[in-house]
Structure 1
């Protein structure tokens, strides 16, 4: 593995107690939405806390993977609709401007395309609206057997506008995406895995977070430079046509860091010497 991991040296920035942050595995951060009585519905304070922590995570070389989950029986119930009604009634809502100007989307996750570090969703229960938008922008999704998913915005007269529409269309295809978006009905974890194809594994509820952490551990067994460059390639493939994506990826700073960094030399040497590699933290870009 590596020899430069010291979780006691990590100093995450201050944030609301609506978010819990811990470091349960080497190079892994666990981020837990902590509004269980409100099904982890998003508040401005929680969204700000997530943005603050993820910006710090992105800039911390010793952290390579993040797992996001929810406290209690829900993953995330999406936006606080009562607060939304208040903004609408008071005339302070400006949804079009808010969506267009949002850099990273719902909860600072749903359109977060600047980070090359993997994010794993550990879906411990229900996920509605914005909760599904979060999940669709994660790199892997582990769901409990009793987890359910829905995009019920059409039933409330609002819109799932923070990135889930194009992403779900790519993942599930137009017709299945329409089924979720235009009907607003709930689907099960097995359906999300087998029909809609945005869940990787369905496990017992007690195994959701441990399974996600084990997958994170498996990721950290690989070169962090290689993992992060691979994720960047996936992100670029969503933005560009084939040849442009390949060219842009090959000339990026993340690829340059890989080809000129210590880990490529270590990986090749470890293979030649028939030993496990000892990865080092990627250099800051």
Structure 2
């Protein structure tokens, strides 16, 4: 399927999703939201795709958030059912998603990154939730996720002022896994390769258990994790046999993803 505002490339088991509106700093209009939701729907259902990377076209912006020009013209703030960029409300996605932040990540763009599992950022990246400066609020998960990521006081310091945070500060706050001076997408691909060296069944089980565990006590998490769908699938999978066999015979495992 051809998209107007989103570019999709599949490299082996990895889906690379590029927001392609560089002339608008990759801000999302209504059509771009719809396209991204469709792309993530397909990724979620594709058994051959095990990890995704999302990035922005050009060297200036990852995503500048909502297209405020569209809103000013009466376009509203409507987002898909699965959230900003079709991702921020996608709580049932057990497959990992990596953000390759290649510049400005503002508002909803920052919220997309917060919804990802790993964030790789170029040294010129900038993060902010500036919605209060334009009479809005970070309604796509920023209000909920940022305090969990960096603590209440630091999050309030960002959200109540709308101030910009440099890539270096974001790294020090724990918002970024790796700072990159060169090709940020190449770095994200390296992270993807490391994930793909693991069983996709184990990766999904781990992600699901970690995210569910955030709202549970340690004891509750330990007792409940055995019944999580991805954990049950992992324990019953061919990969759960392949991994120990490969270790015992000192060979590289051939993961099936089932």
Give the TM-score range, shorter chain: over 0.9
Offset of 1:43 from its aligned partner? Answer: 1.1
Query: CA separation in 2, counterparts of 1:245 and 1:111?
Result: 22
Q: CA deviation at 1:219?
A: 0.4
Of 6, 29, 34, which residue of structure 2 is paired with 1:48? 34
Match of 1:254 in 2: 230
Question: After the TM superposition, which parts of structure 1 deviate over 6 Å for at least 4 consecutive aligned residues?
Answer: none
Residues 1-285 of structure 1: pairs in structure 2 closer than 5 A = 14-24=1-11, 26-72=12-58, 73-87=60-74, 93=76, 103-194=81-172, 196-204=173-181, 206-282=182-258
TM-score by length of 1: 0.86
- Uncovered stretches (5+) of structure 1, i.e. residues with no partner: 1-13
Instruction: Answer whether contact 2:129 2:142 (CA < 8 A) is retained.
Output: no
* CA contact 1:233–1:246 (8 Å) conserved in 2: no
* Deviation, structure 1 residue 104: 2.2
Unmatched tracts of structure 2, length 5 or more: none
Give 1:216 shift: 0.1
**What TM-score do you get using the length of structure 2 for normalisation?**
0.95
- Post-superposition CA distance 1:243-265 (Å, at most 9, x none): 33333321122111111110010
Alpha carbons 1:229, 1:255 under 8 Å: kept: yes
CA contact (8 A) 1:16 1:45 kept: no
Number of equivalenced pairs: 257
Deviation at 1:15, TM superposition (A): 4.5
**Residue by residue, what CA displacement relative to the aligned partner does 1:225-254 show, whole Å, maximum 9, x if unpaired?**
001100001120233333333333211221
Q: Deviations over 1:47-83 (max 9, x none)?
A: 1111111111111111100000000121000001122
